[in-house]
Amino acid sequence: MIRYALRCEKDHEFEAWFRSGDDYDRLAGEGGVPCPVCGETKVAKAPMAPAVGRSRGAPPQKPGGDDKGGEEKVQLTVPDPREQALRAAIRELRHKVTEHADYVGDRFADEARKIHYKETEPRGIYGEATADEATALAEEGVEFHPLPSVPEDRN
Ligand SMILES: [Zn+2]
In this prediction the pTM is 0.43
Alpha carbon of 4 to ligand 1 centroid (Å):
15
Model confidence pLDDT, tens digit, residues 88-119? 888 888 888 888 899 999 999 999 999 999 99
In the chain, DSSP finds a helix count (H) and a strand count (E) of 4, 5
Tell me what the mean pLDDT of segment 56-78 comes to. Answer: 63
Alpha carbon of 13 to ligand 1 centroid (Å):
7
Alpha carbon of 49 to ligand 1 centroid (Å):
19
pLDDT of 155 over the 50 cut: no
Tell me what the mean pLDDT of segment 128-152 comes to. Answer: 87
Alpha carbon of 65 to ligand 1 centroid (Å):
18
Q: How far is CA 29 from CA 42, 45, 76, 93, 146, in A?
A: 8, 12, 52, 83, 84
